[in-house]
Amino acid sequence: MTNETPSQPFQALAALQRLDTELHQLVHRRGNLPEAAELQELQRIQGDLQAAQAHLQAANTDLMARQEEVATSIARQVQRHHELERQMQTSTGVASRDLAAMDAELHRLAEHQRNLEDEELLLLEEAEPLDEQLAEMDAKLSEIGTALDDVRDRGRKAVAEIDALRKEREGDRAGLVAAIPPELAQTYDRIRAKVGAVGVARLQGHRCNGCSLELPAVEVDRMSKLEVQDLSTCDHCGRILLRPDQLR
Protein backbone atom coordinates (compact mmCIF):
# COMPACT_ATOMS: atom_id res chain seq x y z
CA MET A 1 0.00 0.00 0.00
CA THR A 2 1.17 3.53 -0.69
CA ASN A 3 -0.03 6.83 0.63
CA GLU A 4 -2.15 7.65 -2.36
CA THR A 5 -4.40 10.14 -0.59
CA PRO A 6 -3.78 12.22 2.57
CA SER A 7 -6.53 10.30 4.39
CA GLN A 8 -5.12 6.87 3.52
CA PRO A 9 -2.86 6.52 6.60
CA PHE A 10 -5.83 7.34 8.86
CA GLN A 11 -8.02 4.80 7.14
CA ALA A 12 -5.25 2.24 7.60
CA LEU A 13 -4.99 3.31 11.24
CA ALA A 14 -8.74 2.79 11.71
CA ALA A 15 -8.39 -0.66 10.13
CA LEU A 16 -5.41 -1.37 12.41
CA GLN A 17 -7.50 -0.44 15.44
CA ARG A 18 -10.27 -2.78 14.30
CA LEU A 19 -7.70 -5.54 13.89
CA ASP A 20 -6.12 -4.85 17.28
CA THR A 21 -9.54 -4.87 18.90
CA GLU A 22 -10.17 -8.26 17.32
CA LEU A 23 -6.75 -9.51 18.50
CA HIS A 24 -7.50 -8.21 21.99
CA GLN A 25 -10.81 -10.07 21.95
CA LEU A 26 -9.07 -13.25 20.77
CA VAL A 27 -6.61 -13.05 23.67
CA HIS A 28 -9.51 -12.49 26.06
CA ARG A 29 -11.42 -15.42 24.57
CA ARG A 30 -8.36 -17.66 24.88
CA GLY A 31 -8.00 -16.73 28.53
CA ASN A 32 -11.70 -17.22 29.32
CA LEU A 33 -12.62 -20.38 27.45
CA PRO A 34 -15.90 -21.90 28.64
CA GLU A 35 -14.09 -25.25 28.33
CA ALA A 36 -11.67 -24.14 31.06
CA ALA A 37 -14.54 -23.42 33.47
CA GLU A 38 -16.16 -26.70 32.50
CA LEU A 39 -12.89 -28.54 33.09
CA GLN A 40 -12.51 -26.97 36.51
CA GLU A 41 -16.05 -27.97 37.50
CA LEU A 42 -15.56 -31.54 36.27
CA GLN A 43 -12.27 -31.80 38.16
CA ARG A 44 -14.03 -30.61 41.30
CA ILE A 45 -16.71 -33.30 40.90
CA GLN A 46 -14.00 -35.88 40.17
CA GLY A 47 -12.15 -34.87 43.32
CA ASP A 48 -15.31 -35.22 45.42
CA LEU A 49 -16.07 -38.62 43.91
CA GLN A 50 -12.52 -39.83 44.46
CA ALA A 51 -12.66 -38.76 48.09
CA ALA A 52 -15.97 -40.59 48.54
CA GLN A 53 -14.53 -43.62 46.76
CA ALA A 54 -11.48 -43.67 49.04
CA HIS A 55 -13.83 -43.51 52.03
CA LEU A 56 -15.88 -46.44 50.72
CA GLN A 57 -12.78 -48.44 49.87
CA ALA A 58 -11.44 -47.96 53.39
CA ALA A 59 -14.77 -49.18 54.79
CA ASN A 60 -14.65 -52.12 52.39
CA THR A 61 -11.08 -53.04 53.37
CA ASP A 62 -12.09 -52.90 57.00
CA LEU A 63 -15.11 -55.11 56.36
CA MET A 64 -13.05 -57.61 54.40
CA ALA A 65 -10.56 -57.84 57.24
CA ARG A 66 -13.41 -58.55 59.64
CA GLN A 67 -14.84 -61.17 57.28
CA GLU A 68 -11.46 -62.84 57.06
CA GLU A 69 -11.11 -62.82 60.82
CA VAL A 70 -14.52 -64.47 61.26
CA ALA A 71 -13.79 -67.02 58.53
CA THR A 72 -10.52 -67.95 60.25
CA SER A 73 -12.31 -68.32 63.59
CA ILE A 74 -14.96 -70.52 62.01
CA ALA A 75 -12.30 -72.73 60.43
CA ARG A 76 -10.60 -73.04 63.80
CA GLN A 77 -13.87 -73.99 65.50
CA VAL A 78 -14.67 -76.58 62.83
CA GLN A 79 -11.25 -78.12 63.21
CA ARG A 80 -11.55 -78.23 66.99
CA HIS A 81 -15.00 -79.77 66.64
CA HIS A 82 -13.69 -82.53 64.37
CA GLU A 83 -10.77 -83.21 66.70
CA LEU A 84 -13.06 -83.58 69.65
CA GLU A 85 -15.45 -85.80 67.77
CA ARG A 86 -12.58 -88.01 66.61
CA GLN A 87 -11.23 -88.13 70.14
CA MET A 88 -14.61 -89.18 71.49
CA GLN A 89 -15.09 -91.85 68.82
CA THR A 90 -11.63 -93.38 69.18
CA SER A 91 -11.25 -93.15 72.91
CA THR A 92 -12.01 -96.30 74.81
CA GLY A 93 -12.08 -96.60 78.49
CA VAL A 94 -12.47 -92.89 79.05
CA ALA A 95 -14.27 -91.97 82.23
CA SER A 96 -17.87 -91.01 81.65
CA ARG A 97 -17.17 -87.77 83.49
CA ASP A 98 -14.55 -86.86 80.89
CA LEU A 99 -16.87 -87.84 78.08
CA ALA A 100 -19.54 -85.60 79.54
CA ALA A 101 -17.03 -82.71 79.68
CA MET A 102 -16.05 -83.33 76.07
CA ASP A 103 -19.69 -83.41 75.06
CA ALA A 104 -20.28 -80.13 76.87
CA GLU A 105 -17.37 -78.58 75.01
CA LEU A 106 -18.78 -79.86 71.71
CA HIS A 107 -22.01 -78.05 72.50
CA ARG A 108 -20.13 -74.88 73.41
CA LEU A 109 -18.16 -75.09 70.17
CA ALA A 110 -21.32 -75.61 68.13
CA GLU A 111 -22.92 -72.62 69.85
CA HIS A 112 -19.87 -70.47 69.24
CA GLN A 113 -19.77 -71.50 65.62
CA ARG A 114 -23.42 -70.59 65.13
CA ASN A 115 -22.67 -67.15 66.53
CA LEU A 116 -19.71 -66.75 64.21
CA GLU A 117 -21.81 -67.84 61.24
CA ASP A 118 -24.45 -65.30 62.19
CA GLU A 119 -21.78 -62.64 62.32
CA GLU A 120 -20.46 -63.76 58.94
CA LEU A 121 -23.93 -63.38 57.49
CA LEU A 122 -24.29 -59.90 58.96
CA LEU A 123 -20.94 -58.89 57.48
CA LEU A 124 -22.02 -60.18 54.08
CA GLU A 125 -25.22 -58.16 54.35
CA GLU A 126 -23.16 -55.13 55.28
CA ALA A 127 -20.87 -55.66 52.28
CA GLU A 128 -23.68 -55.79 49.74
CA PRO A 129 -24.69 -52.09 49.69
CA LEU A 130 -21.01 -51.15 49.93
CA ASP A 131 -20.25 -53.18 46.82
CA GLU A 132 -23.18 -51.52 45.07
CA GLN A 133 -21.98 -48.07 46.08
CA LEU A 134 -18.46 -48.82 44.94
CA ALA A 135 -19.72 -50.07 41.57
CA GLU A 136 -21.86 -46.94 41.27
CA MET A 137 -18.83 -44.79 42.10
CA ASP A 138 -16.76 -46.58 39.47
CA ALA A 139 -19.43 -45.91 36.87
CA LYS A 140 -19.67 -42.23 37.83
CA LEU A 141 -15.90 -41.80 37.78
CA SER A 142 -15.68 -43.46 34.41
CA GLU A 143 -18.39 -41.08 33.14
CA ILE A 144 -16.46 -38.10 34.51
CA GLY A 145 -13.29 -39.44 32.89
CA THR A 146 -15.03 -39.49 29.51
CA ALA A 147 -16.42 -35.98 30.06
CA LEU A 148 -12.94 -34.76 31.05
CA ASP A 149 -11.39 -36.25 27.90
CA ASP A 150 -14.11 -34.59 25.86
CA VAL A 151 -13.75 -31.14 27.42
CA ARG A 152 -9.94 -31.30 27.16
CA ASP A 153 -10.30 -32.21 23.51
CA ARG A 154 -12.72 -29.36 22.87
CA GLY A 155 -10.47 -26.97 24.80
CA ARG A 156 -7.45 -27.93 22.71
CA LYS A 157 -9.46 -27.44 19.51
CA ALA A 158 -10.74 -24.04 20.65
CA VAL A 159 -7.21 -22.91 21.54
CA ALA A 160 -5.84 -24.17 18.21
CA GLU A 161 -8.60 -22.31 16.35
CA ILE A 162 -7.96 -19.07 18.23
CA ASP A 163 -4.20 -19.37 17.77
CA ALA A 164 -4.57 -19.99 14.04
CA LEU A 165 -6.83 -16.94 13.76
CA ARG A 166 -4.40 -14.85 15.80
CA LYS A 167 -1.51 -15.88 13.58
CA GLU A 168 -3.51 -14.91 10.52
CA ARG A 169 -4.47 -11.55 12.03
CA GLU A 170 -0.88 -10.86 13.11
CA GLY A 171 0.07 -11.32 9.46
CA ASP A 172 -2.68 -8.90 8.38
CA ARG A 173 -1.46 -6.49 11.04
CA ALA A 174 2.08 -6.43 9.69
CA GLY A 175 0.66 -5.47 6.28
CA LEU A 176 -1.44 -2.68 7.76
CA VAL A 177 1.39 -1.27 9.87
CA ALA A 178 3.50 -1.06 6.72
CA ALA A 179 0.85 1.26 5.25
CA ILE A 180 1.02 3.68 8.19
CA PRO A 181 3.78 6.28 8.54
CA PRO A 182 6.14 5.05 11.31
CA GLU A 183 5.64 8.17 13.42
CA LEU A 184 1.86 7.75 13.41
CA ALA A 185 2.19 4.03 14.16
CA GLN A 186 4.48 4.81 17.11
CA THR A 187 2.05 7.41 18.44
CA TYR A 188 -0.72 4.84 18.20
CA ASP A 189 1.35 2.22 20.07
CA ARG A 190 2.34 4.74 22.75
CA ILE A 191 -1.28 5.77 23.38
CA ARG A 192 -2.45 2.18 23.50
CA ALA A 193 0.24 1.35 26.02
CA LYS A 194 -1.16 4.15 28.17
CA VAL A 195 -4.93 3.87 27.76
CA GLY A 196 -5.44 0.22 26.91
CA ALA A 197 -6.61 -1.64 23.87
CA VAL A 198 -8.16 1.28 22.03
CA GLY A 199 -5.75 3.98 20.85
CA VAL A 200 -7.87 5.45 18.10
CA ALA A 201 -11.29 7.01 18.51
CA ARG A 202 -13.64 8.82 16.17
CA LEU A 203 -14.99 12.27 16.41
CA GLN A 204 -18.74 11.89 16.22
CA GLY A 205 -20.33 15.30 16.22
CA HIS A 206 -18.72 16.92 19.24
CA ARG A 207 -18.06 13.67 21.01
CA CYS A 208 -15.01 11.42 21.22
CA ASN A 209 -16.31 7.85 20.94
CA GLY A 210 -13.26 6.59 22.84
CA CYS A 211 -14.13 8.22 26.17
CA SER A 212 -17.67 9.36 25.26
CA LEU A 213 -16.91 12.88 26.43
CA GLU A 214 -17.88 15.96 24.54
CA LEU A 215 -15.24 18.32 23.23
CA PRO A 216 -15.62 22.09 23.53
CA ALA A 217 -17.25 23.66 20.47
CA VAL A 218 -14.24 25.85 19.96
CA GLU A 219 -11.98 22.79 19.76
CA VAL A 220 -14.29 21.02 17.32
CA ASP A 221 -14.33 24.18 15.23
CA ARG A 222 -10.52 24.30 15.25
CA MET A 223 -10.36 20.66 14.17
CA SER A 224 -12.76 21.25 11.33
CA LYS A 225 -10.26 23.67 9.82
CA LEU A 226 -7.29 21.26 9.94
CA GLU A 227 -5.79 19.66 6.86
CA VAL A 228 -6.58 16.00 6.31
CA GLN A 229 -3.04 14.92 7.18
CA ASP A 230 -3.06 16.86 10.51
CA LEU A 231 -3.28 14.65 13.56
CA SER A 232 -5.75 15.43 16.35
CA THR A 233 -6.10 13.87 19.76
CA CYS A 234 -8.83 13.92 22.38
CA ASP A 235 -8.10 16.35 25.22
CA HIS A 236 -9.93 14.08 27.65
CA CYS A 237 -8.52 10.62 26.98
CA GLY A 238 -5.49 11.37 24.82
CA ARG A 239 -6.57 9.02 22.02
CA ILE A 240 -5.93 9.79 18.40
CA LEU A 241 -9.16 11.33 17.17
CA LEU A 242 -10.09 10.50 13.61
CA ARG A 243 -12.18 13.21 12.01
CA PRO A 244 -14.82 12.58 9.34
CA ASP A 245 -12.59 14.19 6.73
CA GLN A 246 -9.86 11.64 7.48
CA LEU A 247 -12.15 8.69 6.95
CA ARG A 248 -13.59 9.71 3.61
Report the residue number, 166 or 236, with the smaller CB distance to Zn ion: 236
Residues 80 and 111: beta-carbon distance below 8 Å = no
Q: How far is the CB of 235 from Zn ion (least distance, A)?
A: 8
Residues composing the chain: 248
The residues that touch Zn ion, with contacts defined as CB under 5 A, are: 208, 210-211, 234, 236-237
Which residues have a Cβ under 8 Å from the Cβ of 99 and sit 6 or more positions away? 88, 91
Q: How far is the CB of 239 from Zn ion (least distance, A)?
A: 5
Report the residue number, 157 or 206, with the smaller CB distance to Zn ion: 206
Report the residue number, 116 or 237, with the smaller CB distance to Zn ion: 237
H helix or E strand, kind and range, residue 40: helix 34-90
Report the residue number, 49 or 211, with the smaller CB distance to Zn ion: 211
DSSP output for 185-221:
HHHHHHHHHHH-S--EEEEETTEETTT-PBPPHHHHH
